Structure formats: structure tokens, C-alpha cells
Amino acid sequence: MAYTAIDKPSDYFNTKLYTGNGGTQSITGVGFAPNWSWIKNRTSAEGSGVFDTVRGVTKMLCSQNTDGESTTANSLTAFGSDGFSIGANNRVNQNSNNIVSWNWKGGTSFTNDASSTGIGTIDSAGSVNQDAGFSIVSYTGTASNATVGHGLGATPKMMIIKNRSAGEGWAVYHQGIGNTNYLLLNTTAASVATAGYFNNTTPTSTVFSVGTEVKTNGDGNAMIAYCFAEKQGYSKFGSYTGNGNADGTFVYTGFAPAFFILKRTDATEQWLIKDNKRPGYNPNNTLYANLNNAEDTGSSVYGDFVSNGVKLRGTYNGMNASGGSYIYMAFASNPFTTSSGVPATAR
């Protein structure tokens, strides 16, 4: 039995905490050269900063709003072999504030000339890590039904897409709601059915589909997509049903999580983010992808990371309403069992 191909998940995803100094500093200790860094101020009500190596340094997007890409000189100023460098922007380096960064490794550059390769109908380029099931895909929209090469060599189970050129929301595809539906990372809205986002078409191992909606395929607009394929023992893109009490639902992932983001799909609720570094023991604290808010330590959003999943401990409707439907994205800190069959130790 193949338990996992990734015995050390922190080679591909890692949460790095640091304290802002209000000036400039280099953040090290990520453990690899990150290609996507999502940074959030934990102390103050500041928006997030989303950066990647495909768009380039100082090119900031913000998960909580619809703003197009901005060039912010004092934000993330360099990607390094073990982290990144930052300027004085409050979102990434406010003096004396606690900051969290979530970091993913791509690493292999790719380009796809659709007319030459026969893969997709729109040219694409980006950074991919097929071992970890992660790619960053840049393409230009056409406003016509189209397909885009993603480079993964496996079927994406979740995609987050942003129009960089226009003030549009963050479109989310997730296998748990299917190809006729979408969510918006920057809002509390429940899932909505429409063909315009993903053309009612499930991604394949080579391409994902986009419709005529400007959020995924704006005419002449620069687009960026973060695509994720599932890897046993490392990542999981699933769904669960809430039970509405403090002895909450257990969400099986098959590994000890390092990162867990969830969203209720059948009602208006927030996007919750938990990780294994805040505060570093159970229960975990919460940040919100769609809000500026500082870190939430309230008991209504409690959850424990255990050796094979997440045990919810709170009654917040955005996490554990009775009968509520939820989707999630999770990455591992440890596989439940290593590739050699050795069980992981408990947290």
C-alpha cells in the first residue's frame, strides 16, 4: 500500500510566523524557496498580501477585496532560497505586530503555446510542482468559453482564480460543489450555480475550463490561477457536514494538518483559516480570508489538529452548523503513515 509519496510535507508547504519591524527585513526559516506567499497581519485589522514568483515581487493582491493587482514597492520585495524580504507595508511588516505567512513551493517554470501543443485553447505560463500537486498559472482572458493548460499532470480538485487587471472577486472552484458552482474567496456568499465561471466542465489532468465570466476570463485581462491536485498523505480537498454542537464534527484528512481553510457552501458565512503554528498547540486560532480582522481566539471557532484530521470544537455556524455543508482545503504537517509504513507521532 502506498501511504504517501511525501514524507516531509514542510518541503512543499510551511507556515512561517514573524514579528514586524516597520522597516525592512528578511524572513528566513520557510525551509524552501517559496513561489506563493500569502501574508496576514495577526495583530491589526489589516488586509492580507498575496504574492507569487510568476507575477513578480511587489505585485500585491488582497484576498479580502476585489482590487486588481497593485505595485506596492514596500511590500514583498524579494523571494529567497529560504523565505522572502519585505518592506514597511503594514500588511506585511507593521512594527511590533505578529504576522503569519503561508508558503507553497512551485519551482518548475512552464509555458504552453496552446496552438502548438494542442493543450487548451488559451496560452498559459507559470510555475508548477507536480510532486506536490500545485501550480501557478498566468493567462490572458478572451471572454469566450476556453480551456487553459495548468501543468499539473493530474486533475485539479480546487482552483482559486483572480482577475489581475480589474476590480473583480476571487473565483473558487472546488470538487465538493462541482463544476456548475462557484464560491468567492473575498465574500461570505454561499455557492452559486452558473456556467459563466467554469463552463460547467470539470478540470482534466491537462486543462481547466473557463466560461465568459470576467472573474475567470475577462476579455484581454491578465489572469492568475492557483491550482491544486490532491496528493495522498499531503493534501486533501474535501467536504463535511456540521453537527451544531461543541463536540463537533471530525473531518478526516488522512494526515496531521498544517493548514486548513474552510467555507460553508449552503449559507452566507466567512472563510476560516487555521494552521499548526497559531498558537502552536490545540485549539487553533482563526483568521478570515475575506476579512481584514485580526486573529480570532474565540471558543466558538475552536478546532483541534489531530494525527489524521481536524476535530471541530466550536458551534460557530460558519464552521459547524447542524446540517451545514462545508468544503475545505488542507495540507499536512505529517502523513498519518510514512511511505515506509511508520505511523506519525501525535502533536
The residue ranges of every structural domain in the chain are 10-104, 119-229, 236-335
Quick one: pLDDT band at residue 5, thresholds 50, 70, 90? confident
Question: Torsion angle of alpha carbons 211, 212, 214, 218, nearest 10°?
Answer: 100
Mean pLDDT in residue range 270-275: 98
Which range is least confidently modeled, 49-63, 240-254, 330-344? 330-344
Q: Which fold has domain 119-229?
A: Jelly Rolls (2.60.120)
Burial class (CB in 10 A: 0-12, 13-18, 19+), 172: buried
Question: Does residue 114 surpass a pLDDT of 90?
Answer: yes
Question: Does residue 310 surpass a pLDDT of 70?
Answer: yes
Residue 108's pLDDT is: 96
Mean pLDDT in residue range 257-273: 98
The size of the chain, in residues, is 347
Spell out a b/e string for 195-219, using b for 16 or more CB atoms within 10 Å of the CB, else e.
ebbbbbbebbebbbbbbbbbbbbbe
Could you give the C-alpha distances from 309 to 238, 252, 305, 346, 347, in angstroms and in order?
A: 11, 5, 6, 11, 12
- DSSP category for residue 342: P
- DSSP category for residue 298: -
Mean pLDDT in residue range 251-275: 98
Average model confidence (pLDDT) for the chain? 96
Quick one: pLDDT band at residue 344, thresholds 50, 70, 90? low
Mean pLDDT in residue range 290-306: 97
Residue 1's pLDDT is: 37
Cell 516531509 belongs to residue: 8
Q: What angle do CA 301, 304, 309 make, to 5 degrees?
A: 120
Mean pLDDT in residue range 83-103: 98
Q: Enter the pTM of the model.
A: 0.96
